[in-house]
Amino acid sequence: MAGAERQHNVIQDLLADLHASFKDVREGRVADYIPELAKACPDDFGIVIATSGGRLYEIGDTRKEFTIQSISKPFIYALALKMLSLDFMATKIDVEPSGEAFNAISLDPESGKPRNPMINAGAIAASAQICDADPAGAVELLLDYFAELAGRRLTINDAVYLSEKVTGHRNRAIGHLLRNFNIIESDPEPALDLYFQQCAISVTCKDLAVMAATLACQGRNPFTGGQPLSKDITVRVLALMGTCGMYDFAGQWLHDVGIPAKSGVAGGVMAVIPGRLGIATYSPPLDAFGNSVRGVAVCRQLSVGVGLSLFNQYFQKDATIRRSYKGSQRQSRRWRSDQELRILAPHRDEVRIIHVQGVLDFGGIEQLAAELVQLGSDVRILILDLAHVTECPLESSGLLDRQLCAIEDQGVEILLSRAGRLPLVSMPGWKISERVEAYEHLDSALEAAEDLLIARYAEPADDGEGLGLGALEEHGLLQLLDEEHRRILAERMTLRSFAAGECVIRRGEPGDELFLVRSGRFDIAIDVRTGDGLSRATRLATFGPGLCFGEIGFVAGTPRSADIIATRPGACWVLHRDAFEALRCSHPDVVIALLTALTCDIGAKLTQTSVQLTLMEHY
Ligand code: GLN
């Protein structure tokens, strides 16, 4: 059986429990003031949760179509804001809760402005603005927009539309009153017609949940990746759902349930937990306020039972700093010569590595700032690893910029690691961008920090490139040998130059040569299969002056296990197997001394690797 899944996801179980608890509730009445709505089956009952991660949980009648009715209101208002601007819409509709029924003729006595866009008067006023902007194309425009919100094409239920159109005298009266106050500036009939059509859009409970999840994700549909609404507009619409979404029950709703929501007379309820979930229910019987009885009960139970109220948020205490440790706790995969190691040893803790994770919103930046101000004055280089930062919202990014600039002003060099996916380095108005170096890999940042320390603390004579340059006799590997042995070896080794990018050792070739680096950089890269199952070319190690490579194949006589590439022009002294074999007969004591030196070298590398691995468990 393809894709057999484990049963008993607790969220699915939770929905099943909710459905079972409320399916037998018999309170409420199916709306009949629009004759066509009276045909709904009172037993229909569906619940869907759609997550910001793009997952769906559903139970009951979740794929049965019904008309959206008033749940269209937040979306239509959002569309009007998008098409006509906030300032313009503010001249047409207020944003105050009315505390009255959905069909109340609730207009400001002086300006004639509807109290808010979640009651019929405000919704008709919003539709009128859209209608005025594009009279001929308004319906198509609406359906295109709803297709983006729901992730599928929706249609209009003509029977319900016509049923309301012929009986909607109260709404018609509201439309004409709005015309009287010039809130609607032309004939109100086309606007009313658009309003009746928008209310008759057919949706399923699943559609509503996806639309709710789109609002939860700041206007981005987590199932399609489309962005029908901006973050700014979404925030405003959610606020209005919070204060006005449940008509004159809105205050009690916010108090008891604490979730922005919108209901419709056909029995739908849509609720949004910002950043997290969209919830939708479908059950036609309504209470005295016009809200679905079972829908209200489900939301109330979710809020109380599993803590979904907006006013019940957990502060993610100190979750932003994933790890923070000193430079001596982690070295780059660039092997260093003894000389370089001696320079680095007393200064490694001048480097601090901080791994940051999650959303760098206000709370995240506060935690990072608290960590940064605690850095000791001995810290001179800060590596900020951002691989696990999921977002850096524009609103709070300015604070991060200021904090980083302040640290930099105090003489701390900042290296950003794995910031690639974030707009950090290119953030508009960012001052720090010009002052930081960005690295694609943490290892490159670690290497750069070590290079900075070496450049800072090396004696003028042995800075950077110059380290180890000179005669073969001075090479690090040979320091364990006595002078005579060194001289004998030197006579049998040849100096070979490499161009940048040249392949020095190829995988599978016989391991017949031993390389002692005189200058340049030599990288071992292998394909590593990472956690996601993909294979990635990864730098295992880099060798510079004073180091040796190729020793395993050389000593064991086995083929090469990886490629080694010169990443810049350089030179190595090379000992060929033939010369080595000849030495076995002529100078066995030199062979023993060389093998001893190689054993020490491999041992040192193994120790360092083991230490790094052990430390990593504590990160
Ligand atoms: N079309 C309905 C009306 O205007 C919508 C009302 C509602 O869902 N509350 O009467």
Could you tell me the distance, in angstroms and rounded to a whole number, from the CA of residue 204 to the centre of ligand 1? 17
Tokens of 409: 């002003």
Tell me the C-alpha distance between 352 and 360, whole Å.
20
pLDDT value of residue 104: 78
Could you tell me the distance, in angstroms and rounded to a whole number, from the CA of residue 472 to the centre of ligand 1? 90
Q: Which of 19-23, 212-216, 414-418 has the lowest mean pLDDT?
A: 414-418
Tokens of 173: 């009266």
Q: Indicate if 325 belongs to the active site.
A: no
Higher pLDDT, 392 or 531: 392
CB 37 within 8 A of CB 67: yes
CB 238 within 8 A of CB 78: no
Could you read off the pLDDT of 495-525 as tens digits, one per residue? 999 999 999 999 999 999 999 999 999 999 8
Average pLDDT for residues 476-483, to the nearest whole number? 90
pLDDT value of residue 469: 57
pLDDT score of 462 more than 60:
no
pLDDT value of residue 4: 57
Could you tell me the distance, in angstroms and rounded to a whole number, from the CA of residue 201 to the centre of ligand 1? 12
Count CA atoms within 13 Å of residue 101 on its CB side. 10
- CATH code for the structural domain at 10-305: 3.40.710.10
pLDDT value of residue 612: 83
pTM: 0.82
Tell me the C-alpha distance between 260 and 201, whole Å.
22
pLDDT value of residue 67: 98
| pLDDT-derived band at 146, boundaries 50, 70, 90 | very high
Tell me the C-alpha distance between 493 and 167, whole Å.
101
User: What's the chain's average pLDDT?
Assistant: 91
pLDDT value of residue 391: 87
Domain 10-305 shares a fold with domain 469-616: no
pLDDT value of residue 397: 85
User: Which of 253-257, 315-319, 456-460, 535-539 is the most confident on average?
Assistant: 253-257
Over the range 495-512, which residues count as b (16 or more CB within 10 Å of their CB) and which as e?
Answer: eeebeeeeebbeeeeebb
| pLDDT-derived band at 538, boundaries 50, 70, 90 | confident
Structural domain boundaries of the chain?
10-305, 321-457, 469-616
Q: Indicate if 73 belongs to the active site.
A: yes
- Return the CATH superfamily for domain 469-616: Jelly Rolls (2.60.120.10)
- In short, whether 264's Cβ falls inside 6 Å of ligand 1 is yes
- In short, whether 290's Cβ falls inside 6 Å of ligand 1 is yes
Could you read off the pLDDT of 222-258 as tens digits, one per residue? 999 999 999 999 999 999 999 998 888 888 999 999 9
Average pLDDT for residues 563-579, to the nearest whole number? 95
Tell me the C-alpha distance between 505 and 524, whole Å.
9
Please identify, by atom number, the ligand 1 atom nearest to the C-alpha of residue 290.
9
pLDDT score of 528 more than 80:
no
Tokens of 319: 């979750």
Catalytic annotation, pick one of 52, 70, 263, 303: 70
pLDDT value of residue 6: 62
Average pLDDT for residues 367-371, to the nearest whole number? 95
Average pLDDT for residues 38-54, to the nearest whole number? 97
pLDDT score of 189 more than 80:
yes
Higher pLDDT, 562 or 146: 146
Estimate the crossing angle of helix 205-216 against helix 138-150, to 10 degrees: 80
For the chain, percent of residues with pLDDT exceeding 90: 77
Average pLDDT for residues 163-170, to the nearest whole number? 95
pLDDT value of residue 568: 92
- CATH code for the structural domain at 321-457: 3.30.750.24
Tell me the C-alpha distance between 445 and 441, whole Å.
7
DSSP string of 229-243?
S-HHHHHHHHHHHHH
Question: For the chain, what is the largest distance between any 2 Cα atoms, rounded to a whole number of angstroms?
Answer: 113
Catalytic annotation, pick one of 30, 57, 73, 397: 73
